[in-house]
Amino acid sequence: MRGLFVTGTDTGVGKSIVAAAICAALAARGERVAAFKPVVTGLAEPEGQFPPDHELLARAAGAGQSPVEVAPYSYDPPLSPHLAAELAGETIEPARLVAAARALAADADALIAEGVGGLLVPITPGYLIRDLARDLSLPVVVAARTGLGTINHTLLTVEALRARRVKRVKVVLMGQRIADPSAADNPAILRENLKNVGVCSVPYLGARALDGAALKKNVIRLKKTLAWVADPASFSPRSSERSEKSGKPKRLTEQKVR
């Protein structure tokens, strides 16, 4: 299977923005992209800045997927997947999730999977987002805030991945509308403490970052950064930060992810 698994240090850190931007960037390069999200919750909430994640990802990938094809399970309450399913009288089956992701990947050049909330959110009792990432055997991209608290949250997330022997990891620090004083220093501190993990920063992209035309502009604006994030070769242990001088990245499809 080829692709990436996008997770976050928490809910609302910009995980969906990262996943959608990667989908759009790869599609713009001519790759067939399949988007996948195991579970979507909160469908009964009032419409916000962005559409529901499975609709957003389907639109960004541009491959004609329906929202149902992107997300095998969906629920109305804005709750953790395990609880939303329990209230609906259902049980989320991990095997179904893995099979659905593999089926999508079989017909695409790249699968971009987005988790739900943070890495240790339970999908169903005894099965976490981390377990799904491990079972799919994809490199993991961790979206994180730039500001206060991100050092602890990001290091804990990476340690949780390493505890399950997930070693191909990158961190994308998402700029915030109002940056606190620590935001300028945190990227360097994280690089110092994550010597075998690539770390890059993305500026604040605006409240409507993923609206049609805005998404296209942001993909162009972040072309080099997104190319680095999506390059499987740069998940090597020596990759500590994005380099603008690294030359043209390989297509995501050129290297098989094992």
In a domain, 38, yes or no: yes
In a domain, 155, yes or no: yes
Q: Round to whole Å and give the CA distance between 197 and 237.
A: 7
Contacts of 231 (CB under 8 A, 6+ apart): 249, 250, 252
Contacts of 23 (CB under 8 A, 6+ apart): 33, 35, 57, 60, 61, 62, 112
- Is 37 an active-site residue? yes
Question: How many domains does one find in the chain?
Answer: 1
Under a CB-based contact definition with an 8 Å cutoff, are residues 24 and 216 in contact?
A: yes
Element (H, E) at 145: strand 140-145
Structural domain harbouring 74: 3-243
Summarize pLDDT for 59-118 with one digit per residue, the tens: 999 999 999 999 999 999 999 999 999 999 999 999 999 999 999 999 999 999 999 999
In a domain, 254, yes or no: no
In a domain, 248, yes or no: no
Beta strands 169-174 and 33-36 are: unpaired
In a domain, 182, yes or no: yes
Active-site residue, selected from the candidate residues 37, 167, 245, 250: 37
Rank 99-108, 197-206, 229-238 by mean pLDDT and report only the highest.
99-108
Summarize pLDDT for 144-166 with one digit per residue, the tens: 999 999 999 999 999 999 999 99
Residues in the chain: 258
In a domain, 252, yes or no: no
CATH number at residue 141: 3.40.50.300
